[in-house]
Every structure is written in C-alpha cells, then in structure tokens.
Amino acid sequence: MKTEPLSILVRNPLAGVFVALTVIFALSALLSPYFLTPYNLSVIARGLAFVGLITIAQSMLMVLGELDLSLGVIGGLCGVISGILMVKLGIEPYSAMLLAVLLGACLGLFNGLLVTTLRLHSLVLTIGTAGIFGGANLVLTRGVAITGIPKEVQFLGRGDVLGVPVPFLIMLAALAVATFVMVKTPFGRYMYAIGNNQAGARMLGIRVDRIRLLVFVAAGAIAGLAGVLMVARLGTAQPSIGDTWVLAPIAASVIGGVATTGGVGSPIGAIFGAGIIAVIENIIVLFGVSPYWQGIVSGAIVVLAISFDAISRRYLRRENG
Amino acid sequence: MKKIATLLACAAFALPVAAWAQDAAGTTKKDSYRFVIVPKVVHPWFDKVNEGAQQAATALKAQTGASVEVIYSAPQTADVVQQNQIIDSALATQPDGLAIDLLDPSGNQASLEEAQSQNVPLVLFDSVPPEGMQITHIGSDFCEQAKIASRRLVEILNGEGEVAIMMGVPTAPNHSIRAECHRQVFAEHPGIKVVAEGIDNDSIEIAQQQAAAIMQANPNLKGWVASDAAGPIGIGQAIVEAGKQDQVTLVGLDNLPEMIEMIRNGVADSSSASQPELQGYWSVMMLWAQATGAPVPGYVDTGNAFLTKDNIGD
C-alpha cells in the first residue's frame, strides 16, 4: 500500500475527470488574463447551467442504460409553451413556468410509457419523439419567437445571488437532489442495479419498469426546467431553444465517467464533464480561435481530457499495486 | 498692470479651450485596438464580411500606425443561445468594440445590454437593433433588396404564373423582412400566385430538399425567389436535378461564388446582392470611430447590387 491520498484518488471514480477539469482550468488561467475575472467565471457558470440541467437528466437515464435524444427538444417546447401561457394566455408567469415544467414531466412520461410498455429502444424511440415535439414547437410558433416575457421572471435567467448566476444555483440544487436520490436512497441503488443487469434486477424483485418510468418523468421535468429558465434568460421564447442540447450532454456524461451501457457513473461526474466542455467553449473565444478550427480544437481537448483520465487512473492503479 | 490683466484673461479663456480641445470628439488615441466580429453562423457570406473587416484593419493600421486586430468568432450553428455565449465570452476579453449580426434582436438583448453596461462600443451589421436600443447598424435595405429580385421575377414571367418563396431562418429579422417584401410585390400582381413557401434555415442542403419537394408538389411552378444567401444555391441545385432549367426561373440573392456561377451558366437569371465586404469594412470603421470618441451615424447603408450575366464578368 502506497500513500493514502493516492489510494483515495484511485478509488474515487470522479478523480480523473476532476483532475482533467482542474488542469484545463489552470492552463486557461495561465494563458489568458481574462479567464479568472469574475465576469468571465459568471459567463461560464451561466452557460453551464442550462446544458448542465440536461446533462443531469441524461446521466440519470444513462445510469439506467437508456438514452433520451428528445430532452433538448422537450426543453425547447416547454420554453415556448411557457411563453405562450404567459404572453398569449395571460397566465401568472410563475404558474406558467410551473405548468411548462409539468408538461416536460408529461412528455418524459410519454417517452417512458412507450419504452416500458412497448419494449422500444429508448435511443430509437426518442429520435422519433424529438421530431414530434420539435414539430409541435414549429407549429405553435411558426418559427417566430414569442416576445414580451414579463420582467419579473427574467431574474431566474439573468439574475445573480452574491455574484453567482441564479440558473447556476438552480442547476446545483437539481444536482444535489439527483445525487442524494442516486447515492443515498434505495431508489438510486435500484437504478444502478437496473443499469448493470436489468434481468437480474427483475429477478431480485425490483420494479424495473416503474423505476425507468419515473426516471424518464424526472428527466423530462428537468429538461422542461432548463427550457423555461432559458426563456427567462433570453427574455423571449425562442423556438430554437434546445437545438444544441442533444449531443453535448451525452458527451459530457461520457467524459464524466457515465457508461453508455448503464450502471456506472453519476450526475456529479457528468457535470464535471459538462464543465470541461463549457470551459473549452469559453477559452476558444478568449483565445480568438478561428471558427473553422474550433471543432478540431475542442474535439482534441476532449480527447486529451478523456485520455488523461484513463492514463492517470491506470498509472495510479499500478502505483497502488 | 493692464498687460498682466489681459494675459490672465487670455489664460483664463485659453485653459478651458485647451481642455475642450483635449476632449474633442474623435481625439482619443490608442496604440492598439482589438475588435471582435460575431456573425450569425459559420457561413461563406460572413467570410466576405470578415474579409472586409480585415481590409479595414489593414487600412487603419496603414493610416494611423496603430495595431488593429480583428477577431472573427462565429457560432457553429445559427442558435441564439450559442451566439449569446460567444458575445458574453468576447466581452470578458474587454475588446475595443464588438460588431454583431444578431440572430434575433429580442433574444440577443440581454447580451447587448451587458455590452453597453461595460461601455464596449457596439455595431450591428446585416441586422437591426432590438426595439428601444440605440446601436449603430450597417447594412442594405433588406426590403428593397428583396423587391429588386421579386420585381425581376414578375417581369420575366410577364406578371403571370405560380411562384414560391424560400424563407431563410424565420426568426432572423433580415430574412423575414425579405420574405415579407417578396409577398408584397407578388400581391401587387393578380396574375402571380404564391403556391408555396419553404424554410431553409440558411442551409444549402435544406434549401435543396425543400425546393425539390415544393417543385414536386407544384408541377406548374414557374419561378423562385429566396430570402437568404444559402437559399438560391439550394434551389438552383434542385432545379438542375429536376432538369427544369427551362421551366423554372430563379432570381437569387447575394453574391456567393456558387450564386455567381449559377448566373454564369444560366441556372439563375440574376441576383439581388447585398455587399458583405462593405458591411465588414464599415463595421470596423464605425467601431474604431466610437473607440476614438467620435460620434457615429445611427445607420450606414451599404447598398445593393443587381447581378446579371452581363455585369458579373468571366
């Protein structure tokens, strides 16, 4: 047995991604004088909040061995619906937002019911439902943003508490709840059991379909929350909200150690992964990287981060005997 | 004594004049300037804007001796959320000015307000400011640009026939203004019937797919106009694939190389073109003027050009 801290590091599944994030953070701070300014950190935190919420939802599903490609579109549709409720139907803004989040839960329920009752593959199914939800968005808006979102709710997207963006605080709260449920409750342990071996979990008497259904509902609600917060951030309900929330949360989850096959990982790791992506997107602008090189640069940093994670773990494991 | 009094009086007058001269508009000088250009999306039309912006930087450097850097930072997709993220990150670098083509004025407003609160000079190109915000904007008359194209189509069709309009990004104001102005021109001619409208989201591929489907569904379609630069290129490809060069007339928009090539080989009749290089050039000039403390106009019109086989050269 070597040193105790190394042993703790190697045992902790979050260590690799945390170290990778720290290295990227430190290098960015060294190379750009603007990186550590409070304004820039708040820009990163605010950007991370929205993708972070979808990442939490996606990582919960991935632990079960599921993938939902409609989460971003659910966020967009819920955002648009909240705008319609507030502006066109005159419903009290916070009630409208709550109703939109509930709609997100219902859309998650719709996905979950189809997956569990018809035994459909969630990845394939949600390609289809993403088309339905995205189409509904266009039918309702005809591609035109809904303006006139009341100022009182814009605090939820634009406001700060002690310099920390409000949506980031909401994301942290969602992360805390998701982590508590997954780590500290039997429900969470069942999620990992299902993700590891669904047939085995059934044999153990775990109500597999019920748990899968509830996680789809929770994921839909979180996506809806991301959508309405983005409406509060923009001050308009944009039909394009959620368009870029499809691949990034999956990539973030994988970077953060969540296995696509299920049973491994946690939302905290996924948020570290999302943090890496958010910092990369930020430094690309700070360094003035050409837009034609951005894909190569960000892809290369992600590959390096994953490789660093894998290599450091292997090294530490060897060091520890 | 009288002389001393006169000298003192002159000095009393000269001091504020000298102080005023120090603060006179346009006299603030720096050794280096860094401007950031944020277009709607990575797109060849915006490359031309960037070319113009770089030319302006070179010109300013040659004329003033100052170092002028223009950083071009484009969203990978035409998404207002991603564009805001880029604007916010660019603001963190404390640039001397920011030129932006807004994807959606209302959706971009929070980021623009943040820039103004940080006293970063702003210029908008190819787009208009959000309601209630005073920001210098540069571009051509979008409506007139569209009307030049739709009037030309009406003229070729002798005021009769079925036509279609390709909208660009429906939430982009310049695209929606052009689409609306096409409709206005066609509505003035009872013999012209708009049978279909497509949305291409500023993508050549989507424009091609939409145009192919619309021509399939409307076999009597006689003509096309578009509302963005990608639209006519996709429509032209669809016309060629359907073998309808002799049946369907395309009057395009803007001056991308593919558009010019289509005019040259007869797939398109002509194009009503905005001048992206000029928009980039004057964006940088307006930002520089603001950075020096000079007053700037509210709007700079870079005009439209009408391109036909006769004036595009070989």
Q: Do B154 and B243 fall into the same domain?
A: yes
CB contact under 8 A, B82 and A244: yes
Over residues B105-128, the pLDDT tens digits come to 888 999 999 999 999 999 999 988
Q: Among A40, A41, A43, which would you mutate to test the B interface (most chain B Cβ atoms within 10 Å of its Cβ)?
A: A43
The more confidently predicted of residues B170 and B286 is B286
Quickly count: other Cβ atoms within 10 Å of residue A312's Cβ: 17
Which residues have CB under 8 Å from B193's CB, separation 6+? B161, B162, B163
Residue B1 banded pLDDT, cuts 50, 70, 90:
low
Cα gap A321→B277, rounded to integer Å:
63
Specify if B16 maps to a domain.
no
Is the pLDDT at B307 greater than 50? The verdict is yes
Q: Do B217 and B299 fall into the same domain?
A: no
CB contact under 8 A, A286 and B89: yes
Residue A1 banded pLDDT, cuts 50, 70, 90:
very low
Return the H-helix or E-strand segment holding A189.
Answer: helix A186-196
CB-closest option in B91, B171, B176 to A239: B171
CB-closest option in A235, A285, A286 to B110: A235
Specify if B314 maps to a domain.
no
CB contact under 8 A, B107 and A234: yes
Average pLDDT over residues A25-45: 92
Nearest residue in chain B measured CA to CA from A41: B92
Nearest residue in chain B measured CA to CA from A283: B89
Q: What is the pLDDT of residue B63?
A: 95
Over residues A198-217, the pLDDT tens digits come to 999 999 999 999 999 999 99
Q: Do B189 and B259 fall into the same domain?
A: yes
Specify if B2 maps to a domain.
no
Q: What is the pLDDT of residue A267?
A: 96
- Please give the full DSSP string across B207-221, using - where no structure is assigned: HHHHHHHHHHH-TTE
CB-closest option in B42, B81, B106 to A230: B81
Q: Do B79 and B40 fall into the same domain?
A: yes
Nearest residue in chain B measured CA to CA from A238: B107
User: Considering chain B, what percentage of its residues have pLDDT values greater than 70?
Assistant: 92
CB contact under 8 A, B85 and A290: no
Domain ranges, ordered by start, for chain A: 4-319
A158 contacts in chain B (CB < 8 Å): 110
The more confidently predicted of residues B265 and B202 is B265
For residue A264 the two structure tokens come to: 């491994």
Residue A102 banded pLDDT, cuts 50, 70, 90:
very high
The alpha carbon of residue A283 is apart from the nearest alpha carbon of chain B, in Å, by 8
B71 CB within 8 Å of a chain A CB: yes
Specify if B15 maps to a domain.
no
Q: What is the CATH number of the domain that holds B287?
A: 3.40.50.2300
Q: What is the mean pLDDT of chain A?
A: 90
Specify if B257 maps to a domain.
yes
Q: Among B42, B80, B169, which would you mutate to test the A interface (most chain A Cβ atoms within 10 Å of its Cβ)?
A: B80
Range of the domain at B42: 32-140+276-303
CB-closest option in A47, A147, A240 to B79: A240
Question: Which of 1.20.120, 3.30.420, 1.10.3470, 3.30.300 would CATH assign to domain A4-319?
Answer: 1.10.3470
Domain count, chain B: 2
Specify if B14 maps to a domain.
no
Q: What is the pLDDT of residue A195?
A: 94
A238 contacts in chain B (CB < 8 Å): 80-81, 104, 107, 171
Specify if B309 maps to a domain.
no
Which residues have CB under 8 Å from A119's CB, separation 6+? none
Quickly count: other Cβ atoms within 10 Å of residue A247's Cβ: 10
DSSP A287: T
CB contact under 8 A, A288 and B71: yes
CB contact under 8 A, B171 and A238: yes
Q: B 172-201 residues with CB below 8 A of A? A: 176, 199
Specify if B288 maps to a domain.
yes
User: Considering chain A, what percentage of its residues have pLDDT values greater than 90?
Assistant: 65
Q: Do B155 and B266 fall into the same domain?
A: yes
Q: What is the pLDDT of residue A4?
A: 61
Hunting for tokens 């401007």 — which residue is that? B35
Which residues have CB under 8 Å from B67's CB, separation 6+? B31, B32, B33, B61
The more confidently predicted of residues A178 and A304 is A178
The more confidently predicted of residues B194 and B175 is B194
Average pLDDT over residues B162-187: 90
Q: Do B131 and B198 fall into the same domain?
A: no
Distances (CA, A) of B179 to B107, B214, B222, B224, B231: 21, 17, 18, 12, 12
CB-closest option in B73, B76, B104 to A288: B73
ipTM of this model?
A: 0.77
Q: Do B99 and B38 fall into the same domain?
A: yes
